[in-house]
Structure formats: structure tokens, C-alpha cells
Chains A and B, each alone.
Chain A
Amino acid sequence: MSRVKRPGRSRRSPVMSFLLHGTLILASLIAIGPIAWVLLSSLKPGYAIQSSELTLFRDTTLANYSYVLTGTNFPRWFLNSVIVAAFTMAIGIFFSATTGYAVSRFNFPGRRPLMMVFLVTQMFPVAILIVPIYTIMARLGLINTMPALIIAYLTIAVPFCAWMLKGYFDSIPTSLDEAAALDGCGPFATFWKVVLPLAKPAVAVTAFYTFLTAWGEVAYASAFIQTDNRFTLAYGLQQFVPQFNPQWEYLTAAAVLVTLPAGLVFFFAQKHLVSGLTAGGTKG
């Protein structure tokens, strides 16, 4: 991305350049500010967080972290979350890719309705329809199990991801498919060996999106999971928010710990975000 069109730079006046960088620096500060503030606060003891005095560091300590890590079932919740998010990610990528590919390449009966259905699924007020879904999960015997969460998260993530991947597949020339077909590849082999490797950026974004959906979700987790050793991280850490007396010092530490793995996945996916999200990058 950074190697396109160099000559533009020389023509920018110093004032414009100052304004441009100034705006972007300000925007970046706003973007990372809240995260940084929570991070700084998590290193303070409780009384320092609750004082109205504005300080960056005060009595720096890791006590909040050690409490969250040892005083709760944290390692177990972390493992649960990793399992749920990893399965959601793997299955989600597979299903959205096959669906996106079919919708992009084959003009089969039912194609347009399916695209509309994907849009309509996004309109569902999850918070309100959670009860009928709970009933179904109960009937399938999936309450308090991880598959319940994985399936529920897939219904949130897959329609959007399939939609997005369809856009990306559209930008890959069909001549490649035809060439592969001439070489004797069936439709599945063409998809698997030719098109999917070319769609790496979009797959990276799908991975990021599905992971994040599963990682940060609380509503389904609180409805479907009942025992402490099956909690996901996001839900487990909610326990620090009692209605009237939130334990801010532990909450800040917990927030940082929840965000870190998501940040890690983001770090690997971010290179592809721009080209992958939009039906764009003619280069792929």
C-alpha cells in the first residue's frame, strides 16, 4: 500500500502538511486514548482510581492483575473463550467462504433470496429473540455446552462474512475458474485450490470478524452457560460489575486482559483489513 504514487508528497505546502498530520495525530490519540486510559488505570490501586485527581501514574502496582488472574477462575475461562472463538473462526471461515463463493459464481435458483436473507438476519434484535433460541438449544440438549455458543455466534457472523467474501470473490476474474476447469478441476477443487488462496485478505478479515464476534459476546453466553467452569472470559469478567458497587480496579485489569488477545488477532489481520473488507483490491 505504501508504495503507490510517491510524487504527490512534494506538492503539499507545509501548512497543509501540518494540518493533515495534526488532524491524524489528534484522531489517533482519540482512538487509542480510552484504551490507554484504562490500561493506565489498571495499574493503580483502587483508592487512586476513585480519586478525582488526574494522574497518569500513582502507586503503580500489578495487584489488580494478580487478583483477577488468581482470585477468579480466569485460566479456565480463558481456555473456554479460546476454544469457542477458535471453532467459531474455523467453521465460520469455511461456511462463509463456500457460501460466498457459490453466491458469487453460480447463478443458481435461490441466489437472490439468499442474499436478501443475509441482510434480513442482520435486522434481528438478538436481545429479544434470545428466548426462542434458548428454547431450541434446550430442546437440542445444548444448554451449558460450548457448541451452543459456537452455533449461535456463527449465525451472527456468517451472513455478514459470506456477504463480504462474495464481494471479494466477485473481484477475482472468472477466467481463472475457467482455466482451472479446463485443467480438470471440479467446482470444489477450483474453489479450494485456485480461488480461496487468492482471497487471502478477505479470509483474514473474516477470521478477525468471526473471532471478535465470539470473543466479546456476552448476551448469548449469559443465557446459555450456567456453570462457572464453562463461562467464557467476557461473561466471567462481567461478574465484577455488581449493580451498585462496581469494582473498578479489577474491572480495568479485566478489560485489559480481555482486549489483549483480540488485539493480537487484530495485529495479524490488520495488514489485510483495507483490501479484504471491500470488494476491492484488483490485485487480490
Chain B
Amino acid sequence: MTTVTADPAPPSTPPGRSARPSRLRRSWEKHWYAWAMVLPVVIVLAVLIFYPLFRGIWLSFTNLNEANQVAEICTKSITGSEVCKENPNKWEFVGLDNYLRVLTGEVGEFWQWTGVTLIWTFVCVACHFGLGLGLATMLNRPMRLRGLYRVLLVLPWAVPAFVSAFAWKFIFNERFGLANAVLSAVGIDPVSWFADRWTSLFTAIVTNVWLGVPFMMVALLGGMQTIPSELYEAAEIDGASAWQRFRNITLPGLRPVSMTVILLGTIWTFNMFPIIFLVTEGQPAGQSEILVTGAFRAAFEGIRNYSLASTYGVLILSILLVFSVFYRRALRKQGEVW
């Protein structure tokens, strides 16, 4: 907001260069309030998101870690004065070494984690969207108790992620969890959920689906309510069945909302840290680790390896950027302007 008081452009501009400044000035006069409104956000994002990003990219080409980050090693001598000498193992530029080590599997299990991440993201988003769409369609009809159902179904959204992670870990506990108690009540042997890769991943997916469906449901329900009811009435007069109305009116009408929530949902799920970290903890033996949690453990357990963490960060960001570019391109091909 302080930009408002910025002094006006000097009245005498040297001849010959007047075209550009005056265009700038007109642009400024026309848009200063829009810029003033977005300025605080831009500054905060620049400092806390983009500076770390560029620093992260730079660090991924070095070998900086907790042990070699200081430029000088200082030791106190007996007399109390400090003697400093240069750190012989000071961090340095190493080029693409980090990327090579990560991609060849020398550190961590990049390809395995990526595979798990893809399965995890696909299954979670498909379930979120499918269940969300189903529930939204049901809630969009007039019926008794609709308000109550809606409140109950949205409730998981209000639960902080780490609490739901804890709640489901509690339910899937091998000795006294609700899941095994129910299984043995119907005569099935209790399952040691975290001993097998797939059951372990299953518990995390259940948790995340439970946590994520309300958002999808609410977004899609909102989208459905913007579809004009005349369309449905006209279709009914033409004798369209419920399925035909759903396919030909509801789904196309939801397209803009769906495209956005699927993209956001994919990004959020891909980077969903707390669920995997707290529910499966990567068990068994790191096999249910996704990229973010695997990278976190690889880089921060033991000596904190900042450059390695940055390398993973850059790789994850690149995957998501590539995905969203292709996603948008695919949409544009179908004539969707978004």
C-alpha cells in the first residue's frame, strides 16, 4: 500500500525515449491499485517460496550437508582465544553428482518410491473423485435429512490430518485395533497390516481417501448447483433416463470444476506427507514409502543432507510441473479454456 505515495514520474523525459516511459506510466496509472492489492502476497511468496526454490536448485548442484556447511572450523585454545582455520572438507559445487546418485539408485530408492507414489496418487485421486461424485449426486437430490447427511459427510475435513492419521493407525493396530477386532468377529484371521507392502499401503490409502472425499464432494456439489435446472426439466420432457441426464447434463456441466479439483487433488496427494509418514512409517522396510517421505528419510535421517533434500525437491517439482503441462495441453485439445 505504500506504493501509493510513490512520486510521480519526472515531467521532463529526454526526447526520443518518451514512448516507453509514457506507456509504462499509463499502465501504472491504470493498474496501480491491482498491483497494490496483490503486492503483499507477491512479496511473501517471493521471499518464502521462490527464494527457497532457487536456493534449492543451486544447492542440488553442491554437496552441502550438516557436517560440511561451515566455512571455518574454530577451536578454543587453552588460553581462551579462538583459533579458526579453514574447513578442509568445505562444501563445494559437484555438478550433476546428486542427480546421478539419486537416479541410479546409489542413495535411496528413487524408482521404487516413484512407482509407489504413482499408484498411491492414482488410486487416491480416483477414489476421491469417484466417491465424491457419487455422494454429491445423491446429496444433490431433494430428500429428507439432506442437511444432516451433508454435515456428517463433510466432517472428516474438519479433522486435522495428523489426528486422522493417528485415528486410523489406532484402528489398524495389529493387537487391539478396531479393524482386526471386526475381522475376527466375522471369522477372518487378523491381518498384520504393516507387515506386507500392499496391506500397508492399503491402510494409508484408506486414511487418505477418508480424509479427502469431503473436499471433492463439496466442490462437486457446488458445481452441480450451478447447472441450470431447466436443462434437467427439458431432458425429462424429452424422456431422458436418469443415467442419460447424468451423462449428458451433469458430467459436462461439472467439467470446469472437475478439471480443477482433479489437478489440485493430484498435486496434493502426490505430496501428501503426514499420512504416509505417520500411518505406515514406510513399513515394511521402506516399501510403502512415497517420494516425499522417502526423500525426507534419506536426506534427514542421520547427518542432515541439505543438498540431497534439494535434489529430491527439484525432481518432485519437475515431475509435477511436467504433469500439469501435459494435463493442461490435453484439456486444451478438447477445447477447454481454463
Contact = CB atoms under 8 A, between A and B. Distances in A.
Interface of A: 1-2, 4-6, 8-9, 12, 17, 20-21, 23-24, 27-28, 30-32, 34-35, 37-38, 41, 49-54, 95-96, 98-99, 101-103, 105-106, 108-111, 114, 117, 119-129, 131-133, 135-136, 151-152, 154-155, 158-160, 162, 186-188, 191, 208, 212, 215-216, 218-219, 234, 238, 241, 248, 251-252, 255, 258-259, 262-263, 265-266, 270, 273-282
Contact of B51 (A9, A103, A132, A241): A132
B324 to A, nearest CB: 7
B160 A216 contact: yes
Contact of B155 (A8, A24, A31, A241): A31
Interface in B163-216: 163-164, 166-168, 170-171, 175-176, 178, 180-182, 185, 210, 214-215
B38 A98 contact: yes
B31 interface: yes
Nearest to B152: A28
Contact of A282 (B37, B38, B226, B299): B226
Contact of A234 (B162, B180, B277, B310): B162
A52 B44 contact: no
A37 B171 contact: yes
B223 interface: yes
Interface string B254-288: 00010000011001100101100100000000000
Q: Which of A34, A187, A276 has the most CB of B within 10 A?
A: A34
Q: Among B34, B44, B263, B317, which residue has the most Cβ atoms of chain A within 10 A?
A: B34
B6 interface: no
The binding surface of chain B is classed by DSSP as: helix
Interface of B: 27, 30-31, 33-35, 37-38, 40-42, 44-45, 47-49, 51-53, 55-56, 59, 135, 138-139, 141-147, 149-164, 166-168, 170-171, 175-176, 178, 180-182, 185, 210, 214-215, 218-219, 221-223, 225-226, 229, 257, 263-264, 267-268, 271, 273-274, 277, 291-293, 295-296, 299, 304, 306, 309-310, 312-313, 316-317, 320-321, 324
Contacts of B268: 122
Nearest to A48: B176
A21 B53 CA distance: 49
Interface centre among A35, A98, A123, A154 (most CB of B within 10 A): A123
Contacts of B218: 273-274, 277-278
A155 B38 contact: no
22 contacts: A4-B229, A8-B141, A24-B139, A34-B210, A35-B155, A37-B167, A37-B170, A38-B167, A50-B175, A95-B41, A99-B38, A102-B33, A102-B34, A129-B313, A132-B51, A132-B59, A186-B33, A208-B158, A219-B273, A274-B222, A277-B219, A281-B225
A279 B134 CA distance: 20
Nearest to B312: A128
A124 B142 contact: no
Contacts of B161: 216
Contacts of A154: 44
Given A98-B37, A151-B48, A23 B138 contact: yes
Give 3 closest A-B pairs by Cβ, nearest first. Answer: A216-B160, A278-B222, A266-B158
B40 A123 contact: no
A234 B124 CA distance: 25
A53 B184 CA distance: 10
B271 A99 contact: no
Given A31-B153, A103-B38, A155-B48, A128 B316 contact: yes
Given A35-B155, A99-B38, A128-B316, A24 B48 contact: no
Contacts of B41: 95-96, 98-99, 158-159, 162
Nearest to A117: B45
Given A120-B321, A124-B49, A27 B135 contact: yes
A4 B222 contact: no
B265 to A, nearest CB: 11
Nearest to A160: B264
Given A37-B170, A126-B271, 14 more contacts: A50-B176, A54-B182, A99-B38, A119-B324, A122-B264, A125-B312, A129-B53, A132-B55, A151-B44, A155-B48, A191-B37, A262-B159, A274-B218, A274-B222
B309 A128 contact: yes
A149 B331 CA distance: 37
Given A51-B176, A125-B292, A125-B317, A270 B31 contact: no
Given A31-B210, A128-B295, A252 B170 contact: yes
A132 B56 contact: yes
A123 B222 contact: no
Contact of B163 (A5, A8, A258): A258
B210 A251 contact: no
Contacts of B168: 34
B135 A8 contact: no
A106 B34 CA distance: 6
A275 B222 contact: yes
B222 A136 contact: no
B306 A131 contact: yes
Contact of B295 (A2, A125, A135, A191): A125
